[in-house]
Structure 1
Amino acid sequence: MKKRYAICGVSGRALGMFVKPIWSTFSATCEVVGLLDVDPVRFDTYRTRFPEHADINTYGEDEFHRMVEETRPDCIIVAGRDDTHARYIIAALERDLDVITEKPMVISGEQARQVMEAEKASKGKVTVTFNYRYGPVHTKIKEIVASGKLGRITSVDLNWYLDTFHGSSYFKRWNRQRELSGGLSVHKSTHHFDLVNWWLDQKPVEVFAYGALNYYGAEGEANPKKEDGRFCGICDYTSQCEYYSRWNSRSKNIRVPDDHLGNMEAVKNVFPFSEYRPDRCIFDSDIKIEDTYTATIRYNGGALLSYSVNFSLPYEGYRLAINGTKGRLETVEYHMPARTPFPTPVQTIDYFPLFGSKETIHVVHREGGHGGGDPLLIEDLFLGEDQYRPYKILSGAEDGAYSVATGEAVWRSVKEHRPITIEEVLGGHGSKEAVTSTAGKGAAD
């Protein structure tokens, strides 16, 4: 019998990451039985993309329970706007259904607490699709830390960079509203916090952060004119906007770039979905979230993380160092070499023993999205987790909760000018005390 999936949020991510592989690769064991979305035009997009399955049942945003009754799914896939996640995750768990959800799992610590409590009372379980875990370099780092090669982990330095194309895209879309996304320390940085939590096998305890809105919003230095309500496709100042002209040519028939995910291109300046444009002006005065953060995070195994992220830089990637009692690991990644305006090297990992010679570790790279991580994640989702992998890699509700809570603690620390504990963000569910790590594992006792 095939496993039945219903989709809440017919986004480009839902269609490309979940629906397409279900029908193209896993159709012998899986099927999509229902779609739910606020915008019926998205159902037309599904039918265009998958005409052989055009008779699928569709439902409005308030018809979750009717969808479950009529389609009898085994699992709900939640892939809509971030602020909708908690509603459908909890509703699915209350019906003892499994859930696969896009990151971030939810947008606040309070919602994360509610999800964990709902899962505890349910026969269903939550899986959060943290695909960064599956990148070949990232799995190799996990293996190195777990092997004890670095000893007990003492500190981590992680600096993440987004270029002027990718970084600015969040400020054109709904992500720029904290009430819809949790802010970028939640929507984006949960990826990064989850990686560190997973690498170290430790939980965050306390966060202190600084942050600011440096590039975007009405006071952005590159703003060609202080005027709200503009859209890139019909703006009179695109030739004076460096963020626009860097990525667009005057001779292009379609001046407006798509929504970064490649799913929503305009035709004659008309976007396919109702009442939504992904080309709002990045200099609007209603932008209040931060585009720059630095944070120090303390973990329950004794490790300390020094983290920064910047959403407007010349290139995209990150720099990572992990320090332990036996040595240090370093790596640098350039995410988008096709957009990077200079040659970039293939990513390797450098290991420096505390006493000894440097070792450079080369990693076999894979094809596929997110550094080759997406195809492996999809296999684990629809075939079951690889039983021969020596470590757990699929993320659950607790993983999602700790990453979201860290993100909220970051922006709250910025606003409140004080350290924020994960326990207070999660309403008593966080780790309270720092404990000594197991030497060689970097894990909490």
Structure 2
Amino acid sequence: MRKIAVCGLSNRALKMFMEPVMYQFSQTNQIVGLLDIDPRREEICIEKFPELVGTPFYTQFEQFDEMIKTTGANTIIVTGRDDSHVDYIVKGLEHDLDVITEKPMVTTVKDAKRVMEAEGKSKGKVTVAFNYRYSPYHRKIRELIADGKLGRITSVDLNWYIDTYHGSSYFKRWNRMREYSGGLSIHKSTHHFDLVNWWIDQKPEQVFAHGALNYYGKDGELNPSPTDNRFCGTCKEQHLCPYYTRWFGRGTGATEDDHLNSDQKMEAYTNYRPDACIFDHEIEIEDTYTASVRYDKGALLSYSINFSLPYEGYRLAINGTKGRLETTEFHSPDRTPFPIPEQTIDFFPLFGSKEVIHVVKNDGGHGGGDPLIQEDIFLGPDPTRPYEILAGSEAGAYSIAVGEAVWKSTKSGLPIDIEQLLQHNYEEIKG
């Protein structure tokens, strides 16, 4: 029996991890301990899962040792705020526990090295929940490349679009603070960098990037007024804010987004509101990036992401010595202001006729990826799958290294060498 302690009772913890443990995989998995700094989160957790009444609950990181000793946990799930991940992961590894962590694994390369060093000394293993690998389209792309259909991969074009509903949510909450999230080149883009790294099975070597804060923050062109400390739920300028009026009527609360439960109230958690103004002066992370990445086997990545667009999705093209692959995905069809075509994967051989691939789909969140990664996490990897898909600490570290390099290149105007970045932080730790 896997005995699990959950560190961080976020909405993600409840929905993505605890719910399947409670109702699908309980024969081999049991939640034995809960830890969160906010007692109100325990109350909400128990309301959702009454079966956990009486489960030991802890409110301080310093109680971690006591929790493991008291509960006999052999696994921890880390689902707190991004910057809190590293301490729980390292502490769990010191206890020789297996660690399942939400993405991103940590928020800095320095912390990624801490995790990998701790794992090297531990009997425990780190699993990073990169659920987007498990989308049926993304698995099919991996299979096509692995089967050699495209030949040697030479270049990748990936353009990611976040709409005004989803994109603004990152600037209403703690994600807008680099010290908490690492900035969006880490909190969000590392998921995309991991996908590319995994698809082409190459390691990133060098990054050159540009970034800017174009839409949000104090200089946002659509800011109704230069006023700080506003909240959507109580703001008197709601009717002047196009981000608010696009999605919410005058009588509708503004606390629902892709990362919040639909029934969550603004007062649900202690000292936490998910509706801070997207034009606050404290916002200084970027909302727009373009980046070029060189890989160790010769592939080149051209990447962009924008967090304030009319629709959501991505456009992908992968070029190889035998042909080209193209696909376009539109997310959240109920928020897309035009008819959405069926997604296909189009293959153009270097010499020959176009092939349209219709992918077999499955239900579930994140394009059908969530149920499959949950099975791999809680039942063990599917033994019939001919390739590795469940990510470990090295994959987590390389995705973070690219994300941090994007930010550092944006600030310095210089290309950033990934191995030097990793080694530099390693020397910092040793010193």
Q: Contact 1:46–1:54 (CA<8 Å) still a contact in 2?
A: no
1:261 and 1:408 map into 2 onto residues whose CA distance is: 23
1:65 is the counterpart of 2:50? no
Q: Mapping of 1:402-421 within 5 angstroms?
A: 402-421=398-417
Q: Contact 2:165–2:243 (CA<8 Å) still a contact in 1?
A: yes
Matched with 1:199 is 199
Deviation of residue 259 (structure 1)? 4.7
Aligned residue pairs total: 425
CA deviations over 1:103-146 (Å, ceiling 9, x no partner): 00000000001101110111101000000100000000000101
TM normalised by structure 1 equals: 0.94
Deviation of residue 301 (structure 1)? 1.0
- Identity of aligned pairs, percent? 62
Q: Mapping of 1:235-384 within 5 angstroms?
A: 235-252=235-252, 255-263=253-261, 265=263, 267=265, 270-384=266-380
CA deviations over 1:165-192 (Å, ceiling 9, x no partner): 0000000000000000000000000110
Judged with a 3 Å threshold, the aligned counterparts in structure 2 of structure 1 residues 175 and 168 are, in CA distance, closer, same or farther, namely same
Q: Contact 2:166–2:257 (CA<8 Å) still a contact in 1?
A: no
Q: Which runs of 5+ in 1 are unaligned?
A: 431-445
Kindly indicate which of the two structures has a greater share of residues assigned to helix: 2
Deviation of residue 348 (structure 1)? 0.3
TM normalised by structure 2 equals: 0.97
Matched with 2:217 is 217
Q: Contact 2:110–2:425 (CA<8 Å) still a contact in 1?
A: no
Matched with 1:56 is 55
Q: Which runs of 5+ in 2 are unaligned?
A: 427-431
> Aligned with 1:367: secondary structure?
coil
- 48-57 or 134-143, larger mean C-alpha shift: 48-57
Q: Contact 2:208–2:291 (CA<8 Å) still a contact in 1?
A: yes
Q: Contact 2:40–2:268 (CA<8 Å) still a contact in 1?
A: yes
Q: Mapping of 1:130-149 within 5 angstroms?
A: 130-149=130-149
Deviation of residue 262 (structure 1)? 3.1
Matched with 1:38 is 37
Deviation of residue 265 (structure 1)? 4.3
> Aligned with 1:333: secondary structure?
strand
1:264 and 1:424 map into 2 onto residues whose CA distance is: 44
CA deviations over 1:264-317 (Å, ceiling 9, x no partner): 7454xx421000000000000110000000000000111000000000000000
1:204 and 1:103 map into 2 onto residues whose CA distance is: 19
CA deviations over 1:74-115 (Å, ceiling 9, x no partner): 111000000000000000001110000000000000000110
> Aligned with 1:246: secondary structure?
helix
1:106 is the counterpart of 2:106? yes
Q: Contact 1:110–1:427 (CA<8 Å) still a contact in 2?
A: no
1:51 and 1:123 map into 2 onto residues whose CA distance is: 33
Q: Contact 1:257–1:265 (CA<8 Å) still a contact in 2?
A: no
Judged with a 3 Å threshold, the aligned counterparts in structure 2 of structure 1 residues 185 and 48 are, in CA distance, closer, same or farther, namely same
2:222 and 2:263 map into 1 onto residues whose CA distance is: 25
Matched with 1:10 is 9
Q: Contact 2:224–2:241 (CA<8 Å) still a contact in 1?
A: yes
Q: Contact 1:265–1:271 (CA<8 Å) still a contact in 2?
A: no
Deviation of residue 335 (structure 1)? 1.2
